[in-house]
Amino acid sequence: MIEDIQRYDAVHFLLGHESVCDAEEMDVFFGQLKACNQAVSSTSLDEAMKSFKREQGRAPVRDEVFFLKALVNDRILTAD
């Protein structure tokens, strides 16, 4: 999905209920999403947080914690 969005030659983007973002802000947003997705490999938020810290060399910021929680929750909901 990220690649589909990046194909557009847009200067500004609207993130759902968020404010209007420019291309640089979208790059940051997509980078955060990709880093969080890479860190989540199970239904454990604790493991996802540890993995994020290990892979990124820092603790996740507030938005990244939100993404990690959402991705872990998705794993929990789809685990069967």
User: pLDDT tens-digit profile of 37-79?
Assistant: 999 999 999 999 999 999 999 999 999 999 999 999 999 999 8
Instruction: Report which of residues 19 and 71 the model is more confident about.
Output: 71
Please, what is the Cα angle at 8 between 6 and 12, to 5 degrees? 90
pLDDT at 53: 98
How is 25-63 classified by DSSP, letter by letter?
Answer: HHHHHHHHHHHHHHH--SS-HHHHHHHHHHHHSS---HH
- Please tell me what DSSP assigns to residue 1: -
34: pLDDT confidence band, cut at 50, 70 and 90? very high
User: pTM for this one?
Assistant: 0.85
